[in-house]
């Protein structure tokens, strides 16, 4: 036995379902249409933008000449070293103009000094010693 209210109950659930499907259809078809991507314009725009450098990247332009003067400049200007004890030969020469880049000043100094067999030791009292690496110790500090 069906009651006269059964078709009304079915219609009550069917109407919202029909409305949802009808309203969702235009949204679905709008999502299906997508503008084509112009790869040439995007690649040209990316090439025109400057490449971001590393946040902690440092660089120093070295010139042909005395290595001691340039290392002293790095230590005093960028690391706030007040007293430098240079225990190496003052005759070391940097051969050519060159920009050295590194992620820190310590790494930059290591790159500059290692071909000469030198190391720098920085002390907490704002002093530093530049000397030849000891034969048994290859670690630069």
Clarify whether residues 83 and 119 are in a common domain. Answer: yes
Query: Per-residue confidence at 134, pLDDT binned at 50, 70, 90?
Result: confident
66 SS3 class = strand
Q: Which domain holds residue 13?
A: 1-33
pLDDT for 15 beyond 80: no
The verdict on residue 71 lying in a domain is yes
Angstrom distance (rounded) from CA 138 to CA 141: 10
**∠ CA 81-86-91 to the nearest 5 degrees?**
130
Least confident of 77-81, 87-91, 104-108, 134-138: 134-138
pLDDT for 9 beyond 60: no
Question: CA torsion sign, 59 to 120 to 132 to 93?
Answer: positive
Torsion of CA 98, 99, 100, 104, to 10 degrees: 160
What is the mean pLDDT of the segment spanning 112-118? 93
Query: Per-residue confidence at 137, pLDDT binned at 50, 70, 90?
Result: low
pLDDT recorded at residue 35: 57
Whole-Å CA distances, 136 to 83, 133, 139: 27, 8, 9
Clarify whether residues 64 and 109 are in a common domain. Answer: yes
Clarify whether residues 78 and 128 are in a common domain. Answer: yes
Higher per-residue pLDDT: 36 or 68: 68
pLDDT recorded at residue 55: 57
Clarify whether residues 75 and 113 are in a common domain. Answer: yes
Question: 25-51: per-residue pLDDT in tens?
Answer: 554 455 556 556 565 665 566 566 655
Query: Per-residue confidence at 56, pLDDT binned at 50, 70, 90?
Result: low
Clarify whether residues 10 and 70 are in a common domain. Answer: no
Whole-Å CA distances, 125 to 79, 87, 110: 12, 18, 21
């Amino acid at each position: 036995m069906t009651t006269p209210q059964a078709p009304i109950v079915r219609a009550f659930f069917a109407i919202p379902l029909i409305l949802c499907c009808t309203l969702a259809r235009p949204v679905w078809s709008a999502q299906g249409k997508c503008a084509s991507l112009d790869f040439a314009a995007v690649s040209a725009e990316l090439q025109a933008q400057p490449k971001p450098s590393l946040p902690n990247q440092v660089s120093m332009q070295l010139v042909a000449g005395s290595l001691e003067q340039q290392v002293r400049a790095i230590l005093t200007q960028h690391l706030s070293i007040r007293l430098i004890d240079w225990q190496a030969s003052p005759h070391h020469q940097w051969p050519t103009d060159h920009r050295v880049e590194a992620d820190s000043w310590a790494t930059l100094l290591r790159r500059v000094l290692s071909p000469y067999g030198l190391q720098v030791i920085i002390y907490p009292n704002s002093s530093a010693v530049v000397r030849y690496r000891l034969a048994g110790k290859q670690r630069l500090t």
